[in-house]
Structure 1
Amino acid sequence: MEGLRPTFTEAPVTIFATPTKLATESAATSYLGDNRVPDLQKLFQKSDGLPVHLKRGLPDRLLYRTTMALTLGGTIYCLIALYMAAQPKNKK
C-alpha cells in the first residue's frame, strides 16, 4: 500500500523561471509619442473659474450632462419601480 507518497521522481518544470521581457524592452522606453503632460497641466491649472471636470470644453460638457441625465432618469425609474412594488395586488 503506497498511501499518499508521491509516485513521480522528477521535479516539475518551472514555467515562470525566466522573465519573458528584458529590462531594456520596457514600454516606457519604446513609446515614441508626444509628451502631452505639460500641456494638460497648463490647461488644468489655468484659473478660469471652471471646475476640473469641465476644463476641456464641449466633450466634457456633453459627457457631464449625459451622465447627469442618466443618473436622474435611473433615480426616477427606481422610485417608480419601488412605488409600484409597494402597491397591493388586485384580487379578482
Structure 2
Amino acid sequence: MTANLVQNGFDKSALTSNRRNAMKKLVAAITALSLGASAAFAGGPVVVVEEPPPEVVQQQSSSSVGFLPILIGVVLLCAVACGGGSDDPEPQPAG
C-alpha cells in the first residue's frame, strides 16, 4: 500500500507531518478548553446560609418574686406593733 502511495505522489513523511500538525492542534484545543473551563469555575458556588433571628427573652424582675413575702412581713409587723390592746374599757376606781 505504501508503494501505491509513493507512486501516486504521496510521501510518507508528509503524512506523518500532517498527523503531527493535527495532533498539535488537537492538544492545543483541548488545553485551551480545559484552561477556559477551570477559569469559569474558579470561584466555586456561593452558598448563602441565613442565620435565624435572635430570640428576645424578657427577664423577670427579681423584685416581683420577693414582693409578696415582704408585703406579708410588713402586714404582720404592723399587726403586732399596732394591735395587742383590748377593747374592754379600763375599770374606774371606786370612790
TM-score (norm 2): 0.35
TM-score (norm 1): 0.36
Q: Which entry has the higher C-alpha Rg, 1 or 2?
A: 2
Higher relative contact order (CA 8 A, sep 6+): 1
User: When you count helix as a share of all residues, which structure comes out higher?
Assistant: 2
